[in-house]
Amino acid sequence: MRPDRPIFVIGCPRSGTTMLQLMLHAHERIAVPPETRFLLSAYYHRRLHGDMRVVENRRRLAEWIATDKTTKFRELHLDRAAYVRKAVEGPGSLGSVIGEAFREYAQRFGKPRWGDKRPSYIKHLEVMLRLFPDAQFVHLVRDGRDCVASLKEMPWYPHDVFHAISTWRETIDLGRWFAARLPAGTYYELRYEDLTADPEAELARLCGFLREDFDPAMCEPRQVATVAVPAHKVWHSNTHREITQARVGSWATRLAPWEIALCEWVLGDRLRSWGYQVEECERPSAEHLLAYHRVATRRWLAWRKRVARDRISRLREPGPLEAMLTSGQLASVTVPPPRAPSAALVDR
């Protein structure tokens, strides 16, 4: 049987995840849409949405996904009514209602395999596996100094360099933690620099992990950029061009000397472990180190608070969570089947 496991692209923001999304989307069997904003929100508000075995609850959640401006469903260019109808008729679980949107996106291109791309999913891998227990994760790693330099320039990034450094460190630490604990065949890491230097070799290895045949079209991601990257995201303009290494190491001219010193002091061991060259540097100023540690501590406490709240919520789940859309999901399902909707509800 050909694999149908969902694929999720993760990593630090500005690490090349959009380029990798397009490479996967160019594969003849895989569709990975632009970033959406409904998966995590639906999960963390699941008690408000109620038991998905109830037809009306599925309808309300699907209608919110399809119509609310915050979800970015419109960027999938799907028929809203058709998606709502499929979600209502489909299995009674939260993961199924969410996953149906991605499956519909894949069917739009006539492809059997679906996924999603959002860098921040790496902070929620436990959540992702609760919803999609057969998921595969592809973590793209880029030199932290280049990520920090790029984040600072983004119009949508509201934070300073201290937050940017913390973001990369958190991503790397979480990736290594999950890499050591997830089952074989679930988690895959590769470097942006290697991917841009030799796309064919790196993508062939990635396809081996995904149990897919290598598709040469993956090496020409710009061919699908007009379809899979929203035009308003001008910061992704490079995805419309050939694969290049022009930005590799550009941090040297895009970061101030004190920012480079802070990056290399804080991230040095992690950078070296990934094969990035780090020269001996002077200790950053006490002021900059203190500012960084304050930010890192606040971020860590906020993350722990969210995890703790979710642990409490798990004590009383409103209904089934696991998606029942792929062969692997169906094989492991342990929840009651969905309640069949009446014709009046489906046609409404």
Summarize pLDDT for 140-172 with one digit per residue, the tens: 999 999 999 999 988 878 889 999 999 999 999
Q: Which amino acid is at 27?
A: H
Cα 116 from Cα 185, distance rounded (Å): 18
Distance in angstroms between the alpha carbons of the first and the last residue of the chain: 37
Which 3 state secondary structure label does DSSP give 4?
Answer: coil
Residues 149/168, Cβ–Cβ less than 8 Å: no
How large is the average pLDDT for residues 107-127? 95
Predicted local confidence at residue 239, as pLDDT:
55
Paired residues of 115 in beta bridges = 7
Predicted local confidence at residue 240, as pLDDT:
56
Which two three-digit tokens encode residue 164? 């940017």
* pLDDT band at residue 284 using 50, 70 and 90 as cut-offs: very high
Whether residue 202 has pLDDT greater than 80: yes
How large is the average pLDDT for residues 189-205? 96
Which 3 state secondary structure label does DSSP give 30?
Answer: strand
